[in-house]
Amino acid sequence: MQFEVYAKGLATLSVDCIVLGVYEDGEMSEEAAAVDSASSGLLKKLLGRGDFSGRSGETLLITDIPGISASRALLTGLGTRKNFGRKLWRRSLASALTAVLRTRIASIAVAVERPPGKELDDYYFGRAVAEIVGSSLYRVNDLKTGKKPKTPALQKVLAGPVKKSGIEAAERGLEHGEAVAAAAALQRDLANLPANVCTPSYLADQAKALGKQHSSLRVQVLDEAAIKKEKMGCLLAVARGSTQPPRFIVIEHKPAKSAGDPVVLVGKGVTFDTGGISLKDPPNMDEMKFDMSGSAAVLACLSLVARLKLPLRVVGLIAAVENMPAGNAVKPGDIETSAAGLTVEILNTDAEGRLILCDALHYARRFEPGAVVDIATLTGACVVALGHHHSGCMGNDQDLVGELVAAGVRADDRAWQLPLTDEYADQLKSNFADFANVGGRDGGAITAGAFLAKFTQGLKWAHLDVAGTAYQGGAQKGSTGRPTPLLADFLIRRAGR
């Protein structure tokens, strides 16, 4: 895809189609009004006779417009002016792109009026355009044997109008947005694969392939014997019931120059989760192939920092296992010793994500990180608390948690902070081990975080529970690519870019 910024002269741009915003009351945006003037009032005439209402999500393609170089114009509804903001702007552009991709239009100029004020500066305007284009172009990597849909014709996108003083920022935004969209597509491709394809070994192979693509990446894969040497007893307990061997993946971005301590991203990589002996209910169990979304997000972020050559050392740690019931599987009541030397009474084998993450978090210490962030589809309780709109965020360092929440706002990939106080850790008390892996039904998302917190003392650590945001079920079942945009913004900011 070719992205460019334009400053003025919309009516003279040599593109197949210009995309214009119109409000619900028929009021035209400034750019739409300019096109209307060039075409001797054609748009006003169409709006006057009710051909287009301007409701959010509505589009209308117009051909053969006199007075402009483009052969077509696409009107996209902005909703009411009083309610118009960043959310409606994104929806309007996404709707427009959906309409464009149904045609053979190869080039467009985006002229959808931005929200007022500072909701969308030049950098985030460019980035949002590129991200929305990338998301609109994404096609699920299905394994159907029928004829594949045609490749979209769209090849070139011009974004604007941007004042001369903002062109550099908008161009940087386009570059970053294209990289974020590619990273999110990588996450989605990995997470959408069935579990008989995307195994722990497959994830390790994908990490190695990524290392070959980028010279700044160093990849190490620990097999089961090496994991045992690291004394990762909790991780091995989860993997015990599966014929798929576990893998522990270390992928590191080491730029020529970097400032500050490294950022370590830790991803939950349960390539399929039956719940183990604590077997899940059969309905929707197929969606447990998405339980490796955290690991996919880590690989996506490492691809992004390498592509953008960010001057920031970033380490990705992926604990990859399959959680299956078997004669040798870990049982409720079993006690295992973690890599940190702490003993855990496993009361529920379906609370397995925290078991593999605790060993990975302990491993992170050797990098002397400035920040550690784990990403996991960890608890159904987080979905109950926040639904599918916000990821849960908590940690032991308020500044780091604040960074992530703010990054989510800027990236339109929001997270919400949950409390993490001592009372929740008290729910994990055990009569037989240092603590249990579950603390009851109440506050389940937070007690899971409290469990992880026991392994992060002395680290600046935050936890993202993306169980409700990393994928969606139903007719549109598939990976969403979240929270890669949030993490991308966090890393780009950390790198000073």
191 lies in some domain: yes
Tell me: do 147 and 206 sit in the same domain.
Answer: no
Catalytic positions are 280, 354
Q: What pLDDT is recorded for position 257?
A: 84
Write out pLDDT tens, residues 363-392: 999 999 999 999 999 999 999 999 999 999
Which of 111, 130, 161 represents a domain boundary (last residue)? 161
Which of 100, 133, 161 represents a domain boundary (last residue)? 161
- Containing 298, the helix (H) or strand (E) segment is helix 293-307
315 lies in some domain: yes
Tell me: do 250 and 329 sit in the same domain.
Answer: yes
166 lies in some domain: no
Please identify which residue in the block is written with the tokens 């300019």: 34
169 lies in some domain: no
Q: Are 381 and 357 in contact (CB under 8 A)?
A: no
Q: What are phi and psi of 464, to 5 degrees?
A: -110, 115
Instruction: State the average pLDDT over residues 466-470.
Output: 98
**What CATH number has the domain bearing residue 100?**
3.40.220.10
Tell me: do 228 and 81 sit in the same domain.
Answer: no
Which of 129, 161, 193 represents a domain boundary (last residue)? 161
Q: Two tokens at 69?
A: 């170089």
Nearest alpha carbon to residue 123 among 77, 82, 163, 174: 174
Tell me: do 437 and 490 sit in the same domain.
Answer: yes
**pTM, whole model, 2 decimals?**
0.96
* Residue type at position 265: L
Write out pLDDT tens, residues 67-119: 999 999 999 999 999 999 999 999 999 999 999 999 999 999 999 999 987 78
**What CATH number has the domain bearing residue 321?**
3.40.630.10
Task: Give the model's confidence band at 260: pLDDT under 50 very low, under 70 low, under 90 confident, else very high.
Answer: confident
Tell me: do 232 and 374 sit in the same domain.
Answer: yes
Write out pLDDT tens, residues 133-155: 999 999 998 888 888 888 899 99
Tell me: do 147 and 187 sit in the same domain.
Answer: no
Q: What are phi and psi of 285, to 5 degrees?
A: -65, -25
Tell me: do 103 and 212 sit in the same domain.
Answer: no
Strands 314-323 and 2-5: unpaired
Q: What pLDDT is recorded for position 487?
A: 98
Q: Are 427 and 404 in contact (CB under 8 A)?
A: no
Tell me: do 144 and 196 sit in the same domain.
Answer: no
Task: Give the model's confidence band at 338: pLDDT under 50 very low, under 70 low, under 90 confident, else very high.
Answer: very high
Enclosing domain of residue 444: 181-494
Write out pLDDT tens, residues 166-189: 999 999 999 999 999 999 999 999
Tell me: do 52 and 110 sit in the same domain.
Answer: yes
170 lies in some domain: no
CA distances for 437 relative to 274, 278, 279, 331, 339, angstroms: 17, 13, 16, 12, 15
239 lies in some domain: yes
Q: Are 385 and 417 in contact (CB under 8 A)?
A: no
Query: How many residues can be counted in the chain?
Result: 497
Q: Two tokens at 61?
A: 């393609």
Tell me: do 238 and 156 sit in the same domain.
Answer: no
Sign of the CA dihedral 446, 447, 449, 454?
positive
Nearest-5° Cα angle at 153, 147 to 158: 150
Count of the separate structural domains present in the chain:
2
Q: How far apart are the first and last CA of the chain?
A: 22
CA distances for 69 relative to 10, 109, 277, angstroms: 9, 11, 66
Would you say residue 259 has pLDDT above 80? no
Tell me: do 126 and 221 sit in the same domain.
Answer: no
Tell me: do 292 and 192 sit in the same domain.
Answer: yes
